[in-house]
Amino acid sequence: EAGVAQSPRYKIIEKRQSVAFWCNPISGHATLYWYQQILGQGPKLLIQFQNNGVVDDSQLPKDRFSAERLKGVDSTLKIQPAKLEDSAVYLCASSLGTSYTGELFFGEGSRLTVL
């Protein structure tokens, strides 16, 4: 079974530029999450989708971050304009549903460096 795919693995941009990350979850997983992991910290949830609808985006900085999952499968996370403090690894995860019973399956992450 293929795992969660993310791209690009690495991205370096200057502040005020924009960047987009792509995630393809495990086939059949209805729920998709984007987490931000700053160096030395645990992952922090940015947004959760159930199929193509947003379940929780309360921790997404909406002035600069946006995410979509138009067809209920792939998702993109965009940052525009980027700030220095956005340097982090952006992890995508998926699960079968929203109940506690399922484990989260993580991709390898997209490492963003903002100069």
Partner 1 sequence: GEDVEQSLFLSVREGDSSVINCTYTDSSSTYLYWYKQEPGAGLQLLTYIFSNMDMKQDQRLTVLLNKKDKHLSLRIADTQTGDSAIYFCAEPFLGGGNKLTFGTGTQLKVEL
List residues binding partner 1 (CB under 8 A).
4, 31, 33, 40-45, 48, 55-56, 91, 93, 95, 97-100, 102-104, 106-109
Whole-number minimum distance, CB 37 to partner 1, in Å?
Answer: 9
Whole-number minimum distance, CB 81 to partner 1, in Å?
Answer: 26
Residues 114/14, Cβ–Cβ less than 8 Å = yes
Whole-number minimum distance, CB 82 to partner 1, in Å?
Answer: 22
Of the pair 15, 44, the CB lying nearest partner 1 is at 44
Measured distance CA(6)–CA(63) in Å, rounded: 24
